[in-house]
Structure 1
């Protein structure tokens, strides 16, 4: 089901926040939320011009945010509440990969040598991936729950990765950060359902986004061949995410939903 065919009104009158909304999966989610009746979609991204372009196209509001900065995330949610005094849906898609590690994977693939990433992985590269992917998810979950709890409800969807289950050779920091997103989200889901707040996670396989475009072509082709279906589109993931965020999924709490084109099951 694509955005144009989606049933109208699942998010009628609701206020939504999408992090990483300036491109890729986040932008597709923001557009679908607006198309399905959201009264206001707040589009947050490290790249403010990108966020502004998406927000302007759907009548939303753009924000600049670095999700690794907890105070910045708190200010973002405070701004959302100040704009409309409610927050019903939060979709957290902001995240990063590591182009240097991908280049090393490619070099090993071309040379036939074993992959050598771990011994060359410095503290800065480790912290960059973990601070944005895992710490950022914690910051967004905490701020969102604080905003939603007084109203007694809400829906939050985080984005993990199939790499958190089927770990990639040469990608230890990314796999660890996304496995952490899964466990963190599930733990929070069990805690906050008592307040009417549903938390779920989608775990994509390869998705055709600007981040994926930085993957070396040979590595990309190998990943594309690894499943029954090739790279998913951002709109494919938006469909899944919006389902989890919608009342249609009212009985789904703490799920980590694979969306990986049949690469593996758990």
Structure 2
């Protein structure tokens, strides 16, 4: 129908990871509202289906970004269904609730956190596999699909904690700092093939991940001099700007969206 694909992303095909909740779900909804056909990817298949049902022209995918074969299959499905892929927003990520609780316990007891010595290999690898390896899997698949068409935009969701590292949270900070550097390196390479890669680095944001943060730790993030926790929609809007033609000259950026907590 005439006008059915109207909007900033009218006629575009988008894939969003971590789209079953939080920033990913907000990005999927924003993209659909602005005309995109969206593949809603999440490790929680039921959550992906629930979001996809809200949207026109959407299709759900169950994807663990830590598994390269699943990522590749998702991108292949996008091409099979639509013949191309124009936009990727990579919002999938994990935190470590156990480490957060150790930090909160230390805050309540007014003592320094002791995390690194207690941090097991499996906890370290879980965060790295999803946040860093998963970003590589998504970027690699995106370049493989987009480069032959000489166009495309990829936005990865990093974290302000890569700069203002939280004491007692080394694996999360390292995974996001690595993902930032990875995205910037790929950006320099991919732009030669018409593909733009950028990163949005949120500060505290009201997501399911934040809801699981212990109260003592949330209080530590509170600062009356800056904006409160961002909404997922506010971060999604930054991601959509980076994915849009309005940001045609923005390549390899790590855009802070932390409400003024710090600058770099």
Q: What TM-score, normalized to structure 1?
A: 0.96
User: Is 1:54 aligned with 2:51?
Assistant: yes
- Cα distance change of structure 1 residues 249 and 223 upon mapping to structure 2, 3 Å threshold: same
- For the aligned residue pairs, the C-alpha RMSD in angstroms reads 0.9
How much has 1:226 moved relative to structure 2? 7.1
Alpha-carbon distance in structure 2 between the residues aligned to 1:125 and 1:68: 14
Distance (Å, rounded) in 1 between the aligned partners of 2:258 and 2:179: 17
Residue in structure 2 matched with residue 168 of structure 1 by the alignment: 166
User: Partners in 2 of 1:172 and 1:165 — Cα distance?
Assistant: 12
Q: Which moved more, 1:227-236 or 1:243-252?
A: 227-236
> Mapping of 1:238-257 within 5 angstroms?
238-257=236-255
Question: Secondary structure in 2 aligned to 1:198?
Answer: strand
* Structure 1 contact 28–234 (Cα < 8 Å) conserved: yes
Unpaired runs of 5+ in structure 2?
1-5
* CA-to-aligned-CA distance 1:5-25 (integer Å, 9 cap, x gap): xxx611010000000000000
- The alignment partner of 1:100 has SS state of helix
- Cα distance between partner residues in 2 of 1:107 and 1:84: 50
- Find the aligned partners of 2:222 and 2:152 in 1 and give their Cα distance: 35
1:34-67: CA deviation from partner (whole Å, max 9, x where unpaired): 01111x1000000011100111100210000100
Q: Distance in 1 between matches of 2:53 and 2:225?
A: 36
Asked whether the 8 Å contact 1:22–1:44 carries over to 2, the reply is yes
Partner residue of 2:116?
118
Q: Any unmatched runs of 5+ in structure 1? A: 1-7
Measure, in 2, the Cα distance between the counterparts of 1:132 and 1:226: 33
Q: Which residue of 2 aligns with 1:198?
A: 196
